[in-house]
Structure 1
Amino acid sequence: MATLSPSSGLSNLGPLAQLKAGRLPERLFRLLVGLWLYGLAIALMVKGAIGASPWDVFHLGLSLHLPVSFGVVMIITAVVVLLGWIPLRQMPGLGTVANSLLLGPFADISLAMLGVPESLWLRIAYMLGGVVTCAFATALYVGAQLGPGPRDGLMTGLSRRTGWSIRKVRTIIEVTVLIAGVLLGGVAGVGTVIFALGVGPLTQFFLRYLVVRLDEPAPRAAVPEEA
């Protein structure tokens, strides 16, 4: 997750306004492609087995204790996180729902399609490819401006409620889920550190080119003064 500046071109719109902001077919396409690529990025890092993202270390650890697939664990986690939006008064958008329901199945499909790399160099390539793909995918679906993912919304909601910086809240959340994931049996590694350091700047870079510029509200006509 990246900390986004106002200059990123992202608008602060409600769920209905997001749908009415124009270029909807293009934005829906970008959302779906972005989520598919995000699922592929997760699978690349998991198959590389030298450290997944903090959230995926948690998902991996939890999947060891539940009779469901990795992707289903992602859906369950997303639903639980969305419940945390209620006291924060966060409003989900279409992209939030799509992220919650589709990202897990997309990750499961990619995990089934990818083979297990045998050499260390190929595992490193998987990991690095996963980090870059994740950043590109995040910029693509966030840039569609149809609502944040569950985990992103939790971060921004907590930041707004507590007055803490996005960086501080993000760090607290990701360290917490990483520790929980390791305690559950998930494995962190070099890839986890590289992801934590690299995905934010890369996402910010890709957002420069992938944010869909939305229609600005039409200015209100001036009311003529009475003579």
Structure 2
Amino acid sequence: MTATSDAPPRQLAALNPIEQLRAGHLPRRLLQLYVGLTLYGASMGLMIQGNLGLDPWDVLHSGITKHLPLSFGAVVIAMSFVVLLAWIPLRQWPGLGTISNAIVIGLVTDLTLATVDRPDELWLRIVFMVAGVVVNALAGALYIGAQFGPGPRDGLMTGLVRRTGLSVRLVRTTIELTVLAIGFLLGGVIGVGTVFYALAIGPLVHLLLPIFTVRLRGQ
């Protein structure tokens, strides 16, 4: 469905983990989920190798790698499960997409870092940065649109919104500024890529998500 279609927009369903598996179109949704998560990890690897700045959570991850003998992907996985602990008081249940997100993205990021060299030329680093952000948006639209539950970090945001009654904008901004500040203090990579990500990711996902949101049974 395109943005100019006369049909009503597809909505993300509020489903528990069992309902997610019973909602239909399972083969297509599983394929879309894991393609999206794989592309997401690859996009993170590109931004890291571009070395022009990372998104707020990855600034935190890169800062942690400077203090612990862990790979970037291992830190991503570990932090995903730390964030999932915060879901407990929020009374949220992780879905298949949540757990897959916590594991697959970190593994693919490390694989990308092991196979894609960091370029010396500035123009190529800019290409890596731009491609990383665009692919990240596409990947996010794919795995979110598969409707298997939010990733750990997005689920933290939506859980806090539900429990506090505060706006999505306020909660998301507060979380991202907090992790950005902590990551910066730990020595994480901040640069023009951080600003570009912040400005571009929202509009890109807004454009792509309706295209890749799978219409579930009963919608």
TM-score range, shorter chain: over 0.9
1:225 alignment partner in structure 2 = none
RMSD: 1.2
Aligned 8 A contact 1:140 1:207 in 2: yes
- Aligned counterpart for 2:20 among listed residues 13, 18, 21: 18
Residues 1:91 and 2:93 aligned together: yes
1:152 alignment partner in structure 2 = 154
- Aligned counterpart for 1:180 among listed residues 168, 179, 182: 182
Report the Cα distance in structure 2 between the residues aligned to 1:208 and 1:160, rounded to whole angstroms.
23
1:29 alignment partner in structure 2 = 31
Report the Cα distance in structure 1 between the residues aligned to 2:203 and 2:166, rounded to whole angstroms.
21
Read off the aligned partner of 1:181 and give its amino acid letter. G
SS at match of 1:42: helix
2:4 alignment partner in structure 1 = none
Residues 1:133 and 2:135 aligned together: yes
Report the Cα distance in structure 1 between the residues aligned to 2:10 and 2:166, rounded to whole angstroms.
21
Report the Cα distance in structure 2 between the residues aligned to 1:100 and 1:185, rounded to whole angstroms.
23
In the TM superposition, 1:49-88 aligns within 5 A as 49-88=51-90
C-alpha distance after superposition, 1:168-209 (max 9, x if no partner):
111000000001001111120110011011101101111121
Report the Cα distance in structure 1 between the residues aligned to 2:211 and 2:124, rounded to whole angstroms.
29
Aligned 8 A contact 1:8 1:207 in 2: no
SS at match of 1:67: coil
Report the Cα distance in structure 1 between the residues aligned to 2:30 and 2:67, rounded to whole angstroms.
35
Aligned 8 A contact 1:85 1:157 in 2: yes
Report the Cα distance in structure 2 between the residues aligned to 1:187 and 1:105, rounded to whole angstroms.
20
Residues 1:40 and 2:42 aligned together: yes
TM-score between the two structures when normalised by the length of structure 2: 0.94
Please list every run of at least 4 consecutive aligned residues from structure 1 whose deviation after the TM superposition is greater than 6 angstroms.
none
Which is further off, 62-71 or 134-143?
Answer: 62-71
SS at match of 2:177: helix
Report the Cα distance in structure 2 between the residues aligned to 1:14 and 1:8, rounded to whole angstroms.
18
How many residues of Structure 1 are paired with residues of Structure 2 in the alignment? 212
Aligned 8 A contact 1:43 1:110 in 2: yes
Read off the aligned partner of 1:152 and give its amino acid letter. D
In the TM superposition, 1:185-200 aligns within 5 A as 185-200=187-202
Deviation, structure 1 residue 215: 0.7
1:3 alignment partner in structure 2 = none
Deviation, structure 1 residue 9: 2.0
Report % sequence identity.
57
Read off the aligned partner of 1:19 and give its amino acid letter. L
In the TM superposition, 1:99-114 aligns within 5 A as 99-114=101-116
Report the Cα distance in structure 2 between the residues aligned to 1:47 and 1:63, rounded to whole angstroms.
15
